[in-house]
Structure 1
Amino acid sequence: MSDLDFLEKLLDGAEVEWRPLADVTLPTSNIKWSNTDQSYRYIDLTSVDRETGTISEAKEITAETAPSRAQKLVEADDLIFATTRPAQQRLCLIPSDWAGEVASTGYCVLRPDQSHVLPGWLLHWISSTQFKAYVEEHQSGSAYPAISDGKVKAFSIPIPCPEEREKSLTIQGEIVRILDSFTELTAELTAELTAELDLRKKQYNHYRDQLLGYDVESLELRPLGWVGEVRMCKRILKSQTSPTGDIPFFKIGTFGKRPDAFIPRDLFEQFKDKYSYPKIGEVLISASGTLGRAVIFDGKEAYFQDSNIVWLENDESKVLNKYLFYFYQIAKWQSSDGGVIKRLYNDNIKRTLIPVPCPDDPEASLAEQARIVEILDKFDTLTTSLSEGLPREIELRQKQYEYYRDLLLSFPKPAEAAEA
């Protein structure tokens, strides 16, 4: 039996009425700090774990220490939904041991009227694809998108058999039971896959250290300056960048991520031809912030922030680029304090030692490096590849759950019912 057939059988021709959340939730209240000397646990926006939908940590606060946003009192079975950056879907069903605590005004508190809706019914609808689409349509702001409590409560959900409360709650309960089972099964599978992924990572780290660690007897230490010269792009001024444009400009904060700045093509062509620019396969590293974070340059048109993102100009006659990439993950950088943050200057990089097999025999050295790279590539595929590794399996399990959840929540809306 398909999920749609199951839904039709469960409804058995019963009416379905769509109601805004405001009609099926009860009023909530704010705390009056002037009237209490008690302490409360404060559910801030960061207190709710997005992955598990549970409260992971919370500060103890009093009237004297409470931040201005600590206002909303919550009770057991309340659903809280973060209205700041709502696309992140930070939500939680309040458990009984958190009843009477205080939540941030950054949450919309939905208190189900349990004569009409079950708490789990609200939870699954607020987690649904339909609600996510609604949020995207009604949120405002670009840098800090948000949605108002009023907009959240204007979202409509289906109430089966609205005139027969017992039957309505029975139908809701059966669907909630199935979805809870899916949730639990997905969580178990994800936990198993995550444990497997953690094991693979430990194996990968073990073999990486065994193959190219500093204490491997078959390797000899050489300074990175022996490999090649440190290079960087020509300095780009902030006035030369824009939020949109032709060529992505990566700064230390966006290195390895999505760019938020661009430079004109004519400037890119001019600087690329006249000044240092990485070759395909060379390994870019961060020289500030997270030192030595590595990205292999794939040749796509881009420009990089001078002194913060650098690379070794490497002809691979001594060390393979991919070998360098794996070494950077364990490198003992000779860093310097640059005020607030540490940074790598050119001399620091050139003095940093790299273990190399047979450095005085280039042919044997490169062959052994290639063997080490091949082994580490296999482990890297297992641990980090979204298309071949375990993370892909976790993603597929989550998508499978979302697919079945949306099927079970595919109640016809009035216009659709009339057309049918």
Structure 2
Amino acid sequence: MSSVSFMEKLLDGVDVEWMALGNERVVEIANSGRKPVKASLRAAGKTPYYGANNIQDYVDGHTHDGEFVLIAEDGSASLDNYSIQYATGKFWANNHVHVVRGKEGLNSRFLYHYLCIVNFIPFLSGGGRAKLTKGKLVDITIPIPCPDNPKKSLEIQAEIVRILDAFTAMTTELTTELSLRKKQYNHYRDQLLSFEEGEVEWEALGDVFNIFSGGDKPKNAFSKEENEEFNVPILSNGIGLKSLYGWTNSPKINEPSLTVSARGTIGWTSYRDRPFFPIIRLIVLTPKIGVNTKYAYYYMKTIENNYPVPPAGIPQLTKPMIENVQFPIPYPNDPERSLAEQARIVAILDKFDALTSSITEGLPREIELRQKQYEYYRDFLLSFPKPDAEEAA
């Protein structure tokens, strides 16, 4: 029997009572134990120190001991996907989280999963730095299935928790595996691109690539959205989609090339295999001699944090700063063998890269699918009917 049909049978005909987090019979709000400590004053230890979104440090001592749910009071990284954390054992909570747990009749882990689907925006105040005050926290309602039969209620809650935790465990396992694979990938990449004396000839980047800086965005041929006419990406500094500024109808770069971020995420290198239009804060490298551009990309990733950027003023990478950076050419006196060796290195690293980075294959894709599966079951299992008045609100 599937989890869905099992839960449909389990919940069939079950009454649900909606109770506020301020109901002291059901929920304990343990904010009084919270204690913020400046980083410079924290004593190092093994106890996790929680802030609004994550563990910020490990300290000596603790403010709480037990099973709790932490709800951001302010500073949540996202308002639409509000920060909810689950903490067990000894931990330290600062004053940017509300600390709550279920009492008799409410499974704290069930409470955690349910709060993950709550829309907190109507309860927030404070404008730019949105805040969830305790006065608003206590108004948030949670469902208690089968309230007149505490034993059955806890059984239902425990079964929902079991199903959702199983999906969470799968995602955690895959995430751990991905972390290990990334370390393995970095090891092999660094090993493949570390050369002994005499194995390669070191050339200045300015001798291997045409290097130029991006300019202004197109004035009369620009669209914020991709369409049939404007389908050439306009790229600036940033990582992933953050580098996409808009769309135009005429590329400046048509060949495979590299881009290096000159501001912000300084040194971040990307491989570009489709035509694009570079603008400010971006440096572009196109090969001027026979070199595998993907090989160049993998090597440049190993040095992207080592550019000689002056610390004064606003940090910025410029063309003169990278022209003399050294680049390895294997078998420089045998171009055919050189390109074959570069292609061999690329083939190995492409496989690792797909496993650790691809959103269409490999572990990242699998993690995304498992997360969506968890969210589907979570939304189904926790979609209890609300009173008509509350639904209308």
Separation of aligned partners in 2, 1:27 and 1:225: 62
Instruction: Describe the superposition over 1:103-135 as per-residue Cα deviations: whole angstroms up to 9, x where unpaired.
Output: 31x3233343x23422222112113xx32xx23
Q: Percent identity?
A: 35
Aligned to 2:38: none
Out of 152, 156, 161, which is 1:167 matched to? Answer: 152
- 8 Å Cα contact 1:250/1:303 also seen in 2: yes
Separation of aligned partners in 2, 1:165 and 1:320: 67
SS of the equivalent of 1:382 reads: helix
What value does the CA root-mean-square deviation take over the aligned residues? 4.3
Separation of aligned partners in 1, 2:273 and 2:132: 39
Q: Deviation at 1:356?
A: 0.9
Letter in 1 for 2:260: I
> TM-score if structure 1 supplies the norm length?
0.69
Aligned to 1:381: 354
SS of the equivalent of 1:57 reads: strand
1:17-416 to structure 2, matched below 5 A, reads 17-23=17-23, 24-26=26-28, 28=30, 30=32, 43-45=49-51, 49=54, 55=55, 57=57, 76-83=66-73, 84=76, 85-98=78-91, 102-104=93-95, 106-112=96-102, 114-127=103-116, 130-131=117-118, 134-135=119-120, 144=129, 147-191=132-176, 193-194=177-178, 197-198=181-182, 201-202=183-184, 204-215=185-196, 217-234=198-215, 252=237, 254-258=238-242, 277-288=252-263, 291-299=266-274, 302-305=277-280, 308-315=281-288, 317-331=289-303, 335-339=308-312, 344-414=317-387
- 8 Å Cα contact 2:64/2:90 also seen in 1: no
- 8 Å Cα contact 1:322/1:373 also seen in 2: yes
- 8 Å Cα contact 2:263/2:317 also seen in 1: yes
Separation of aligned partners in 2, 1:158 and 1:235: 55
Structure ranking higher in helix proportion:
1
Instruction: Describe the superposition over 1:143-188 as per-residue Cα deviations: whole angstroms up to 9, x where unpaired.
Output: 6555555555444332122223343234323433444454445434
Q: 1:142 to 1:320 in 2, by over 3 A?
A: farther
Q: Deviation at 1:284?
A: 0.7
- 8 Å Cα contact 2:48/2:56 also seen in 1: no
- 8 Å Cα contact 1:190/1:397 also seen in 2: no
Aligned to 2:14: 14
Q: Deviation at 1:359?
A: 3.0
SS of the equivalent of 1:337 reads: coil
Separation of aligned partners in 1, 2:140 and 2:192: 57
Letter in 1 for 2:120: V
Q: Deviation at 1:137?
A: 6.6
Separation of aligned partners in 2, 1:17 and 1:144: 33
Letter in 1 for 2:294: K
Q: 1:386 to 1:152 in 2, by over 3 A?
A: farther
Q: Deviation at 1:325?
A: 0.9
Letter in 1 for 2:72: A
Aligned to 1:66: none
Letter in 2 for 1:325: Y
Q: Which ranges in structure 2 are unaligned for 5 or more consecutive residues?
A: 36-41, 218-223, 389-393
Letter in 1 for 2:213: M
Separation of aligned partners in 2, 1:187 and 1:388: 18
Separation of aligned partners in 1, 2:31 and 2:122: 28
Separation of aligned partners in 1, 2:359 and 2:34: 49
Separation of aligned partners in 2, 1:388 and 1:261: 26
Aligned to 1:68: none
- 8 Å Cα contact 1:75/1:96 also seen in 2: yes
- 8 Å Cα contact 1:279/1:297 also seen in 2: no
Q: Deviation at 1:362?
A: 3.8
- 8 Å Cα contact 1:248/1:301 also seen in 2: yes
Aligned to 2:391: none
Separation of aligned partners in 2, 1:10 and 1:32: 39
- 8 Å Cα contact 1:227/1:312 also seen in 2: no
SS of the equivalent of 2:299 reads: helix
Separation of aligned partners in 1, 2:285 and 2:134: 53
- 8 Å Cα contact 2:174/2:363 also seen in 1: no
- 8 Å Cα contact 1:334/1:351 also seen in 2: no
Letter in 1 for 2:2: S
